[in-house]
Amino acid sequence: MPEIDARVARLRFARAAATYAAASRLEAEVGSRMLERLDYVKLAPRRVLEAGCGPGRESAALLKRYPGAALVELDYALPMLRRERSLLSRLGVRPAAAQVCGDLQRLPLAAGSVGLVWSNMALHWAADPPAALREFARVLAADGLVLFSTLGPDTLAELRAAAGGGRVHRFADMHDVGDALVAAGFSAPVMDTERLTLTYAGGEALLADLRASGQTFAAPARSRGLAGRRFRDALDAALQGLMRDGRLPVTCEVVYGHAWKGAPRKRADGRSIVQFAPRPH
């Protein structure tokens, strides 16, 4: 799993609240593809948790799909939540979801209180993704579903090659995320991955989008100083050499996962739960 300085990542997302929606094309596209996946799932949750909701881009679609459910929008960057509420207020729309500022690794929700955990492109920014998955399992009711997307290791391969591995995150492999799901207590996880390519007018446009969406290098061991002019010139030259037909192609590996929360096998005191099915007559 990538090492993330949670305080720095949260601060950068908070600062990017006003520009995030316009700069996060990938997240918007992946959110649409995740909604399509729900077409094949039979589910009627009483409560839906949108974990790492950002400005709540998929909130309306989730409420439309599950009109009888209560929606909880959760994000650790408070300005993201305020941004959406402010936009709704100016439009004269009453917010339909409860908003909670909280951490994926310490969800302020009761155990077994959620029927669906939805998390679009947020898990890779958690300081401890396996802990977040354990929290998803804790708040899910039996037979509840977790559906998420996250970034895989080939993401930003072009930028990593140009800038060096010490300046660009390498995200978790699909199989490692699947193993973490099983370790968290989920049953029969389904994992798959796809590669999407975004194109930019050049290296500066790519870096501007990353800054505007708050998605910049946040490793604990990152350099605290500004990159010098020599490094910046070398980076620009390296990215310029990757241009194709006047555009800079940028690879994004997207990992999708979903899994069900099975019935509990043990009580809180450690005693095993044994269920006896009635004998057919």
The answer to whether residue 265 scores a pLDDT higher than 60 is no
Domain of residue 75, CATH code: 3.40.50.150
Q: What is the pLDDT of residues 95-134, one digit of tens each?
A: 678 999 999 999 999 999 999 999 999 999 999 999 999 9
The count of structural domains within the chain is: 1
Contact (CB, 8 A) for 258 and 136 = no
pLDDT band at 85 (very low <50, low <70, confident <90, very high): confident
End-to-end CA distance of the chain: 52
What integer is the mean pLDDT of 151-163?
Answer: 95
> Which has more confidence, 86 or 44?
44
Does residue 226 belong to any structural domain of this protein?
A: no
Host domain of residue 110:
6-153+170-196+253-261
What integer is the mean pLDDT of 251-262?
Answer: 96
Amino acid (1-letter code) at residue 189: P
The number of residues making up the chain comes to 281
What integer is the mean pLDDT of 193-214?
Answer: 96
Does residue 38 belong to any structural domain of this protein?
A: yes
- pLDDT on residue 164: 84
Quick count: other Cβ atoms within 10 Å of Cβ 106?
10
Does residue 207 belong to any structural domain of this protein?
A: no
Does residue 241 belong to any structural domain of this protein?
A: no
Does residue 268 belong to any structural domain of this protein?
A: no
Among residues 7, 1, 255, 218, the alpha carbon closest in space to that of 128 is found at: 1
Contact (CB, 8 A) for 144 and 115 = yes
Among residues 119, 107, 106, 231, the alpha carbon closest in space to that of 166 is found at: 231
- pLDDT on residue 95: 62
Does residue 158 belong to any structural domain of this protein?
A: no
- pLDDT on residue 96: 75
Partnered with residue 45 across adjacent β-strands are: none
Among residues 71, 57, 55, the alpha carbon closest in space to that of 14 is found at: 55
Does residue 18 belong to any structural domain of this protein?
A: yes
pTM (2 decimals)? Answer: 0.88
- pLDDT on residue 266: 57
- pLDDT on residue 253: 98
Does residue 111 belong to any structural domain of this protein?
A: yes
The answer to whether residue 273 scores a pLDDT higher than 60 is no
